[in-house]
Amino acid sequence: MKAQLPIKRLNLLSGLLAAIIGIIFHIIISHNSDDPKKYFFTLFTVLGVITVGFANVIIMSILSRFYKPQSKQFKVFRYVLTYPVSIAIYLLVWPIIASAANHQWFYNDGRLFLAFVGSGIVINTMILVLHDSVLLYEHKLYSELELSRLKTANAEAANLLLKQQIQPHFLFNALNTLKALYHSDTETADTYIVHMANFLRASVFRHTSNISGLKEELELLNDYLAMQRMRFGTALNCSIAIPYEEIKAYNLPSFSLQPLLENAIKHNNFTQQDPLNITIVQAGDRLIFSNNIQKKKIKLDSTSYGLANLAERYKLCCGDDIIIEEDEKCFSVSIKLLKHEGSNY
């Protein structure tokens, strides 16, 4: 994105400066003289200032086609060109106003000539200072916008990288389970493949999406849950209690629920006699995922995937923290439900 000159703002500032200087000049000349020509002199002052201001803007517009407004070349050529042009404007306006006021004028009047040259230099300097302040302000806004865009792009890239950790981790476990099922129950293995295909299809379609509907996240979770039930049978129970109207109204960062279920399975021992019981309920604007604790005696090595991954992606997507609570019997994770799908989380 190329920075644009704020032409309208620069012209408005030039006009405002011309009006202020004109008013001050008129007050001073009215106080010292009752000559009716003072109006023409005031007009000359206003016309000179505003013409110099517009000339500065035109010169900047031309230079911006070849150089960036913040470049050294732009500034050097701007200063080199605007001062001679400003002086020329005052020398050209001088006879016009003098003729309109029926006042004799001569370029060979050294003192008057120097007065107009000096006026051109002073007015051009004032305009340069004012225009520089506008350009500096615009450059600051442009820099902040670019920084914001870079941060957004970086956050999206980081979020995508974190999400990409899901696929190999999931595939490793899924293929091992599928291999075992085909040795014992081919019909169940075929059904397992259907759910695995649904999961992978969702992974592909939501590959670059940061936010998904709660409905889609629950469908993804159900596919993963069905696969795990084929693996563990009645040793794995999952209860979801969310009103259908609420399901349609909320969103979540993509792939938020499946890692929670996988985390619970990974860190707990469970059998048909002592099943792993998981509940997913809504509490206001948060979703609470909880399970009973039956920790494995052998501590598994962390892969940096799971809760840490989810927590980081949540911060990148919406700036919110996940809330983890644990006691002797229960482990729970609370995540914020996002209300507006079109929002820039």
Provide the residue-wise pLDDT of the chain in tens; the chain has 345 residues.
Answer: 455 778 888 888 888 887 887 777 777 766 666 666 666 667 777 777 888 888 888 888 888 888 887 788 888 888 889 888 888 887 777 677 666 656 665 556 667 678 778 878 888 888 888 888 888 888 888 878 877 776 766 666 565 555 555 556 667 777 888 888 888 888 888 888 888 888 778 776 665 567 888 998 998 899 889 888 888 889 999 999 998 888 888 998 888 888 899 889 888 999 999 999 999 999 988 999 999 998 887 665 554 456 777 787 787 777 788 999 998 899 999 999 988 654 445
The model's pTM? 0.53
Q: Which two tokens stand for residue 87?
A: 């002086």
Handedness of CA 144, 150, 153, 154 (dihedral sign): negative
Q: Is residue 46 part of a domain?
A: yes
**Three-state secondary structure call for residue 198:** helix
* Nearest CA-CA partner of 221 in 197, 188, 255: 255
Same domain for 136 and 174? no
* Per-residue model confidence as pLDDT tens digits over 61-101: 888 888 887 788 888 888 889 888 888 887 777 677 666 65
Q: What Rg value do the Cα atoms of the chain yield, rounded?
A: 36
pLDDT of res. 304: 43
pLDDT of res. 57: 85
Longest distance between any two alpha carbons in the chain, whole Å: 114
pLDDT of res. 160: 54
Among the candidates 132, 159, 186, a domain finishes at 159
Among the candidates 113, 134, 159, a domain finishes at 159
Same domain for 185 and 289? yes
Q: Which two tokens stand for residue 182?
A: 């085909």
Q: Is residue 342 part of a domain?
A: no
The span from the CA of 70 to the CA of 4, in Å, is 11
Same domain for 28 and 153? yes
Q: Is residue 192 part of a domain?
A: yes
Same domain for 48 and 188? no
pLDDT of res. 341: 53
Same domain for 147 and 69? yes
pLDDT of res. 236: 94
Same domain for 203 and 154? no
Same domain for 228 and 117? no
Measured in whole angstroms, the distance separating CA 220 from the mean position of its chain's CA atoms is 29
CATH code for the domain in which residue 272 is found? 3.30.565
Structurally, the chain folds into a number of domains equal to: 2
pLDDT of res. 44: 75
Q: Name the residue range of residue 149's domain.
A: 7-159
The span from the CA of 74 to the CA of 131, in Å, is 13
Same domain for 144 and 84? yes
Same domain for 153 and 268? no
The span from the CA of 242 to the CA of 195, in Å, is 22
Q: Which two tokens stand for residue 49?
A: 């200032």
Q: Is residue 344 part of a domain?
A: no
pLDDT of res. 292: 94
Among the candidates 129, 159, 189, a domain finishes at 159
pLDDT of res. 169: 63
pLDDT of res. 342: 45
Q: Is residue 2 part of a domain?
A: no
Contacts of 103 (CB under 8 A, 6+ apart): 37, 40
Same domain for 332 and 184? yes
Q: Is residue 97 part of a domain?
A: yes
Contacts of 295 (CB under 8 A, 6+ apart): 267, 268, 269
Q: Is residue 124 part of a domain?
A: yes
pLDDT of res. 333: 94
* Nearest CA-CA partner of 75 in 147, 152, 136: 136
Same domain for 120 and 268? no
Q: Is residue 345 part of a domain?
A: no
Same domain for 125 and 14? yes
